[in-house]
Amino acid sequence: MLNEAAIKELNEIRQKYPNARAALLPALYIAQREFGHLSPEAYEAVSEILGVPKAIARGVATFYVMYKHKPMGRNIVQLCTNVSCMILGAEKLVDFLKNKHGLEPGGTTSDGRFSMVIMECIGACGTAPAMLVNDDFYENLTEDNIVKILERYK
Amino acid sequence: MTRKGLLNEFKDMEKVLLKNIENPNSADINEYKKAGGYSSLPKALERQPKEIIEEVKKAGLRGRGGAGFPVAMKWTFASADPKFPKYLLCNADEGEPGTFKDRPILEKNPHLLIEGMAISGYALGAEYGYIYLRGEYPEAKNILNRAIKQANDNGFLGDNILGKGIKFHLAVHQGAGAYICGEETALIESLEGDKGQPRIKPPFPVNVGVFAKPTVVNNVETLSNIPYIIEIGGDAYSKIGTTDCPGPKLYCVSGHVEKPGVYELPMGTILRDIIYTHCGGIKGGKKLKAVIPGGATTPVLPPDKIDCPMDFVNMPKHGSMLGSGAVIVMDESVCLVKVCYRILKFLEHESCGKCTPCREGTGWLRNILGRVESGEGIEGDIDLMLSVSGNMMGKTFCPLGDGAASVVQNFIKHFRPEFEEHIKNAKCRFK
């Protein structure tokens, strides 16, 4: 079950909407944060608090890529490879991170430090290639600076 | 007019949407007020809601999300519907690849958007508003939430705005990584807590929108124009830009230019001038190969077709669309089959799956493009792609399917020899 603070947070968010169902997306975000990913327990908690059937919650969550359905690393590297990033070398960075640093797209490093996710456009096209590490934007990436950036995340 | 003259004129143009953003604290309410912010809202509240809609009509404002629909018309429909409450939704789900124009407003000028929404809410008789923000903008979420709190504390939002008894509540709703939610009915589904699958129209959101109530969905940039229209009046505003599409426009330029970035210029600025005058031309003095003028799903243009005014009315006459104003510039080193493949891979991933021609067609096209790009294409693949895309066109609920078909058709239309070369030589020479 969610802890008291998370339940309180969710009930406050619930007040922003005319019905409980509309709070499903934010509720899934909270559950994901608290449980690490959307585990059966996470769906159980969301379902119980909002009164939304678990099957519905799961159906909605699996539509959106930002909900995770397996345990993730401590840090999530989200590298964009869409057109503007691609023509400025994003795919070379994907290969570089895979071959030199063991970051496999869709995978998690064995020490649990990083999960790597390939993103569709993250809105940093003017400073491509770009990535998000957790909630932090990094832009104008090169093989040199990307390694230094990742060093900061333990 | 000389090129230099043009430059000076643009330099002198007053910034409306990107005003004050060099100020590191521009997102703070006090800095916004110091720069003249929140002076349009009190003026608007002195007038009748109908007069505000009339002013926006005179301004000739068109929606900046991509479709270019006249804003006042949308507002009039929603305003005339007797159902209550009404909702105002801000579409901040900018996900069209190449688009990053709304991000500076969301992160640096959130109060401009909030003031625009408060005025628009009053004009529509809407008491509730949501900003549907894409999940990939976590920083903007915190900035917007802070700005909304400040606006509430200062009486610009809430139950009794500026003591006038007018109510407008605003909240941020965070998306979770689905391109399709930028489509207004998919956005509404997502806000209601469902999968982002577009609805069939009619009924239109202005009558049956979110929570089955009259709903207006406007883009971030659109709503951010409202305070300025109130400030200078619709007539004066209509003199900026082109006659059919007035106002300032944010163009976001990426790819192989010397100075990529977001540029606020009069609507209708010539595409060539955006690339060569404002962005300093092609990076490293290389040769221009192709331009996607309005985001990844708008028709690609070859270098001899870029002398076109970038607005909603003129771009279709020049074989493309303004879309979101996201200009992607590609130099001679780029493989256009690869770019076309990447866009289709994206659209296959983002197709919501509701309409068969889109769900299946995007996958087929991605598959064929993939084999052509990797040198495994077979004779007839180009015609097969034209056949598949022709069978998708006009057969889906929302524009995603049409967009996918049009991307392939236009890449082939302008760059067919490059596709043929891949098949004939059984390899890509750009690798």
Residue B1 has pLDDT above 50, yes or no: no
Residue B2 has pLDDT above 50, yes or no: no
Contact B159, B43 (CB under 8 A): no
- Does B184 reach chain A within 8 Å, measured CB to CB? no
What pLDDT was estimated at residue B146?
A: 98
A67 in a domain, yes or no?
no
Burial class (CB in 10 A: 0-12, 13-18, 19+), B55: buried
- Does B274 reach chain A within 8 Å, measured CB to CB? no
Residues from chain B that touch A132, judged by Cβ atoms under 8 A, are 136, 138
* Averaged pLDDT of chain B: 96
Find the CATH number of the domain harbouring A55.
1.10.10
Contact A69, A38 (CB under 8 A): yes
Stretch B7-14: mean pLDDT, rounded? 54
What pLDDT was estimated at residue B14?
A: 82
Secondary structure (3-state) at A103: coil
How do residues B84-129 score in pLDDT, each as one tens digit?
999 999 999 999 999 999 999 999 999 999 999 999 999 999 999 9
Mutate to test the interface with A, among B101, B131, B159, B254 (most CBs of A within 10 A): B254
DSSP state of B47: S
Residue A52 and residue A79 in one domain: no
What pLDDT was estimated at residue B12?
A: 55
What pLDDT was estimated at residue B163?
A: 97
Residues from chain B that touch A37, judged by Cβ atoms under 8 A, are none
Residue A89 and residue A142 in one domain: yes
Stretch B321-344: mean pLDDT, rounded? 98
- The answer to whether B195 contacts A16, with C-beta atoms less than 8 Å apart, is no
What pLDDT was estimated at residue B245?
A: 96
- The answer to whether A65 contacts B330, with C-beta atoms less than 8 Å apart, is no
User: Encoding tokens for residue B309?
Assistant: 């005014």
Residue A34 and residue A101 in one domain: no
Residue A57 and residue A83 in one domain: no
Question: Residue B129: which of B97, B73, B168 has the closest Cα?
Answer: B168
Surface of B (343-372) touching A: CB under 8 A: 343, 346, 349-350, 352
Stretch B330-336: mean pLDDT, rounded? 98
Residue A49 and residue A83 in one domain: no
Residue A115 and residue A91 in one domain: yes
Q: Cα–Cα distance between A118 and B349 in angstroms, integer? A: 12
Which secondary-structure segment (H or E) carries B171?
strand B166-174
Residue A51 and residue A85 in one domain: no
User: Encoding tokens for residue B430?
Assistant: 């750009």
Q: How far is A34 from chain B (nearest CA, A)?
A: 17
Residue A49 and residue A79 in one domain: no
A68 in a domain, yes or no?
no
The low-confidence residues of chain A, meaning pLDDT below 70, are none
DSSP state of A108: B
Question: Is the ipTM beyond the 0.95 threshold?
Answer: yes
Q: Cα–Cα distance between B276 and B106 in angstroms, integer? A: 28
A98 in a domain, yes or no?
yes
- The answer to whether B349 contacts A120, with C-beta atoms less than 8 Å apart, is yes
Contact B216, A90 (CB under 8 A): no
Find the CATH number of the domain harbouring A93.
3.40.30.10
Surface of B (105-144) touching A: CB under 8 A: 134-139
Secondary structure (3-state) at B368: helix
Domains in chain B, CATH or no CATH each: 20-237 (3.40.50.11540), 248-331 (3.10.20.600), 336-425 (1.20.1440.230)
Residue B299 has pLDDT above 70, yes or no: yes
Q: Cα–Cα distance between A73 and B57 in angstroms, integer? A: 52
Residues from chain B that touch A86, judged by Cβ atoms under 8 A, are 338-339, 342
What pLDDT was estimated at residue B296?
A: 97
Contact B170, B212 (CB under 8 A): no
Q: Cα–Cα distance between B233 and B258 in angstroms, integer? A: 37
Q: How confident is the model at residue B13 (pLDDT cuts 50, 70, 90)?
A: confident
What pLDDT was estimated at residue B409?
A: 98
Stretch B384-391: mean pLDDT, rounded? 98
Among candidates A28, A123, A135 on the partner chain, residue whose Cβ is nearest the Cβ of B103:
A123
Contact B306, B269 (CB under 8 A): no
How do residues A48-73 score in pLDDT, each as one tens digit?
999 999 999 999 999 999 999 999 99
Secondary structure (3-state) at B379: coil
Surface of A (33-92) touching B: CB under 8 A: 52, 59-60, 63-67, 78, 81-84, 86-88
A70 in a domain, yes or no?
no
Stretch B25-52: mean pLDDT, rounded? 98
Q: Into how many domains does chain A fold?
A: 2
A124 in a domain, yes or no?
yes
A69 in a domain, yes or no?
no
Mutate to test the interface with A, among B128, B134, B194 (most CBs of A within 10 A): B194
The residue written with tokens 């610009």 in the block is B156
Among candidates A60, A84, A87 on the partner chain, residue whose Cβ is nearest the Cβ of B194:
A60
**What residues make up the domain containing A30?**
4-61
- Does B195 reach chain A within 8 Å, measured CB to CB? yes
A54 in a domain, yes or no?
yes
Residue where a domain terminates, one of A61, A84, A99: A61
What pLDDT was estimated at residue B8?
A: 39
Secondary structure (3-state) at B301: strand
Stretch B226-254: mean pLDDT, rounded? 97
Q: Cα–Cα distance between A94 and A116 in angstroms, integer? A: 9
Stretch B169-174: mean pLDDT, rounded? 98
- The answer to whether B100 contacts A126, with C-beta atoms less than 8 Å apart, is yes
Stretch B259-272: mean pLDDT, rounded? 97
- The answer to whether B97 contacts A120, with C-beta atoms less than 8 Å apart, is yes
| Stated pTM of the model | 0.96
Question: Residue A19: which of B203, B212, B268, B234 has the closest Cα?
Answer: B212
- The answer to whether A67 contacts B99, with C-beta atoms less than 8 Å apart, is no
Residue A82 and residue A129 in one domain: yes
What pLDDT was estimated at residue B94?
A: 96
- The answer to whether A119 contacts B136, with C-beta atoms less than 8 Å apart, is yes
Among candidates A63, A82, A122 on the partner chain, residue whose Cβ is nearest the Cβ of B346:
A82
Residue B19 has pLDDT above 70, yes or no: yes
